[in-house]
Amino acid sequence: MLKEILKKLSPTTTKLVAVSKTKPAKAIEELYDQGQRVFGENKVQELTWKYEALPKDIEWHAIGHLQSNKVKYIAPFITLIHSVESLKLMKEINKQAKKHDRIIEFLLQFHIAEEDTKFGLDLSEAQQILNSDFYKNAKNIKVAGVMGMATFTENKNQVRNEFQTLKNIFEALKKGFFESDDNFKEISMGMSGDFELAIEEGSTMVRIGSLLFGAR
């Protein structure tokens, strides 16, 4: 399945994040042996043991809701945090990154779905954060782009509209805050059920779990 997915990504520069949450180290090693290096997890405890147990050239991405008090456990090694949705969390990431003398990159997560259960900011909240004195002076964090999850529905038009909303948010922030910052370039959208639509709408990173590893 890895090959089939990569083939669909190959006409674009979209990156594959293999979402290995709940799966054993052995399942990750199988994909690693086929060349996959980027893996996503949503639980801090799982991230830390897998980081310890698996090859050190894996890029670990944190993709789920992240509590501030747990940032310290992943700060030494995390490559990208996809799910930042508060100033409080940003402050903690900056603090922990500084302790480890690192710059940690993250994405701002936006609420684009109709379900209330999916976390995320709206555009004005993000603008407020990016205008804050804290953000302007923070030295150990870098915003690499945006992330969002579409509604879980068969309605493709709705999913497409939600991805377009995220793309528009990305463009607005790029124009308003990151025009000369090449680092702000990622649009993390698309999962097993909707990644092809997401690519059509400009995704730069798809987060695929069940299609690669089987149902959870």
Ligand X SMILES: *Cc1c(COP(=O)(O)O)cnc(C)c1O
Contact residues toward ligand X (CB under 6 A) are 19, 21, 42, 63-64, 149, 191-193, 207-211
Write out the DSSP string of 17-79.
Answer: EEE-TT--HHHHHHHHHTT--EEEES-HHHHHHHHHHS-TTPEEEE-S---GGGHHHHTTT-S
163: its two tokens: 């991805």
Q: Which is nearer to ligand X, 64 or 202 (CB)?
A: 64
- The identity of residue 26, as a single letter, is K
Coil vs helix vs strand at 82:
strand
Q: Which is nearer to ligand X, 63 or 129 (CB)?
A: 63
Q: Which is nearer to ligand X, 92 or 194 (CB)?
A: 194
Q: Which is nearer to ligand X, 145 or 209 (CB)?
A: 209
The size of the chain, in residues, is 216
Radius of gyration of the CA atoms of the chain, in A: 17
Smallest gap, in angstroms, from Cβ of residue 5 to ligand X? 10
Burial of 180 (0-12, 13-18, 19+ CB in 10 A): exposed
Q: Which is nearer to ligand X, 63 or 84 (CB)?
A: 63
Smallest gap, in angstroms, from Cβ of residue 173 to ligand X? 20
Residue 40: what are its φ and ψ, rounded to 5°? -115, 140
